[in-house]
Chain A
Amino acid sequence: MMEIQTMKELNEACQREEKSIGEIMLMMEAEKSGRDQQAIISMMEERLIKMKEAVDNGIKDATTAPSGISGGDAVKMNDYVQQGKSLSGSYISNAMSFSLATSESNARMGVIVATPTAGAAGILPGVLFSLHKNDGTPYKDLVMGLFTASMLGLVIANRSFISGAAGGCQAEVGSATAMAAGTIVELKGGTPLQAVNATAIAMKSLLGLVCDPVAGLVEVPCIKRNVIGTSIAFSAADMSLAGIESRIPCDEVIEAMYKVGNDMPRTLRETALGGLAMTETGKRVKERLFCRKS
């Protein structure tokens, strides 16, 4: 049975089998689970549909989350983009709106798909549905993109971490952004090696990012970090598609992320005891919501 533990092994497997990263994932999943490929694709389609529903619901919902500290920004962003005002170009602008929509839905305890986590759930749908909107990438390709993303995510998750509590936000928004960057590259016809390079470039840009949610809520700064994550994913993908390589190989970047995460104090790993959570405003929000000083 095929086991892939590193990006190097992944790239070699792609060469050997003459398959894309997404196709390798699909093959491995079929081998491991005993399900046939079509059944697995259907399961993934279901996830893509749920992602789309979260975007569609979020983009028109101007209500605030129960906490009162988030909500309504997806509508603002979308209006602004539709007026043709945005500076970023339509790929990034649309991705920003869609990721806001998803992350705001998440904060309202709406249904979303964790990619790889709920805190970082806005990034992949943001870039995928932006590709669809801007160049008509068909849904069946987006589904394959989810296999690409999960393959990259599996390597990261098993060699490092994907949760803020374990490794800080670099592990969460960082991993999701890295997965999204590689996925864009594969969907735009880049080679597996280029996809892995984009993954490395994106992850490097978010290395060291701490997890410091205000009042422990997955809202501030989480939602906006998802939005920015989409723009990093597109920049990293563009660099890689231009032929630029990561000077540090992806596996070493992942290892660095792991070490940085282990060195992070507990206060900066989802305990809401440091960083933005402990700013004057952050503390006030916490007191107001939970009447519990710390």
Chain B
Amino acid sequence: MEFQSCFDIIGPIMVGPSSSHTAGVVSIGKFIHELLGDYPKEVKIVFYDSFAETYQGHGTDKALLGGLLGMDTDDSRIKNSLEWAKENGMQYEIEFESCCEYFDHPNTTIVTAKRGDCVVKVGGASLGGGLSKIFMIDDDMVAIRLSAGDDFSALASSYHPRKKVMDKAI
């Protein structure tokens, strides 16, 4: 059962317009922010399927960048996160694909984020109603459920992308 709590249904408190294409994506971005311990300097984003078709209308790009910058789902700065990204010197590019081979869901993104020596590649799917799932970190398949009220830094702390990358580098 993916949906566990009454607040998975009533909530999140969020800026519009879409819980799956906006709020759930903020959470995916925020998780990556916590993985890196800060916002990334360089980001490559792949939007799949429904995300690829409708990201502009739903502000999916703004939502993801907002999350990567550390914003929560109800942060009214999300509206202007493209400008915030610029101001923080965050470089990003977005690509579009029809289907994601790693995870079968229409609302899927894979984000490669870099800050200093650390690189993480994270796959996330937004399941609806603001609930999301991280299904991949680097090349490992995982299943981390993200609900807007969760403590993302605690969820991210069991993964050590920085350390892993550093070890590989050495």
Which residues of A are in contact with B by a Cβ distance under 8 Å?
3, 5, 25-26, 29, 32-33, 40, 43-44, 46-47, 50, 67, 105-119, 121, 124, 146-147, 149-151, 153-154, 157-158, 161-166, 171, 179, 213, 215-219, 266, 269-273, 289-290
Q: Are A213 and B10 in contact (CB under 8 A)?
A: no
Contact of B17 among A33, A116, A165, A219 (CB under 8 A): A219
Contact of A218 among B6, B16, B127 (CB under 8 A): B16
Given contacts A106-B16, A106-B17, A289-B56, could you give 4 more A-B pairs where the C-beta distance is less than 8 Å?
A111-B14, A118-B130, A149-B10, A165-B21
A9 CB to nearest B CB, Å: 13
What's the Cα separation between A124 and B155 when bound, in Å? 32
Contact of A111 among B3, B21, B74 (CB under 8 A): B74
Specify which chain B residues have a CB less than 8 angstroms from the CB of A25 in the assembled complex.
6
What's the Cα separation between A213 and B50 when bound, in Å? 12
Specify which chain B residues have a CB less than 8 angstroms from the CB of A50 in the assembled complex.
13
Decide: A154 near B76, CB < 8 A? Known: A113-B14, A218-B18, A272-B57.
no
Interface status of B1 (Cβ within 8 A of chain A):
yes
Q: Are A111 and B15 in contact (CB under 8 A)?
A: yes
Specify which chain B residues have a CB less than 8 angstroms from the CB of A29 in the assembled complex.
5-6
Contact of B22 among A46, A116, A118, A290 (CB under 8 A): A118
B-side interface size class: 35 or more
Q: Are B16 and A118 in contact (CB under 8 A)?
A: yes
Decide: A109 near B59, CB < 8 A? Known: A119-B19, A154-B3, A218-B17.
yes
How many inter-chain residue pairs (CB < 8 Å) link A and B?
A: 180
Q: Are B53 and A119 in contact (CB under 8 A)?
A: no
Interface string of B6-40 (1 = CB under 8 A from A): 11111111111111111100000000000000000
Specify which chain B residues have a CB less than 8 angstroms from the CB of A166 in the assembled complex.
105-106, 127-128
Contact of B1 among A26, A46, A113, A158 (CB under 8 A): A158
Q: Are A157 and B9 in contact (CB under 8 A)?
A: yes
Contact of B50 among A124, A149, A165 (CB under 8 A): A165
Q: Are B3 and A157 in contact (CB under 8 A)?
A: yes
A51 CB to nearest B CB, Å: 9
Q: Are A114 and B15 in contact (CB under 8 A)?
A: no
Q: Are B5 and A32 in contact (CB under 8 A)?
A: yes
What's the Cα separation between A266 and B105 when bound, in Å? 11
Interface status of B54 (Cβ within 8 A of chain A):
yes
Specify which chain B residues have a CB less than 8 angstroms from the CB of A115 in the assembled complex.
9-10
Interface status of B4 (Cβ within 8 A of chain A):
yes
Interface status of B78 (Cβ within 8 A of chain A):
yes
What's the Cα separation between A116 and B18 when bound, in Å? 11
Q: Are B9 and A217 in contact (CB under 8 A)?
A: no
Q: Are B54 and A271 in contact (CB under 8 A)?
A: yes
Specify which chain B residues have a CB less than 8 angstroms from the CB of A112 in the assembled complex.
13-16
Contact of A162 among B12, B59, B129 (CB under 8 A): B129
Closest to B127 in A: A163
What's the Cα separation between A179 and B129 when bound, in Å? 14
Contact of B6 among A44, A106, A162, A171 (CB under 8 A): A44
What's the Cα separation between A230 and B134 when bound, in Å? 35
What are the 8 A-B residue pairs with the smallest beta carbon separation, nearest first?
A216-B54, A163-B128, A216-B57, A106-B16, A150-B6, A153-B9, A217-B57, A218-B17
Specify which chain B residues have a CB less than 8 angstroms from the CB of A272 in the assembled complex.
53-54, 57
Specify which chain B residues have a CB less than 8 angstroms from the CB of A119 in the assembled complex.
17-19
What's the Cα separation between A260 and B6 when bound, in Å? 26
Specify which chain B residues have a CB less than 8 angstroms from the CB of A289 in the assembled complex.
56-57
Decide: A154 near B8, CB < 8 A? Known: A161-B128, A216-B53, A270-B50.
yes
Interface status of B49 (Cβ within 8 A of chain A):
yes
Decide: A157 near B129, CB < 8 A? Known: A117-B18, A273-B53.
yes
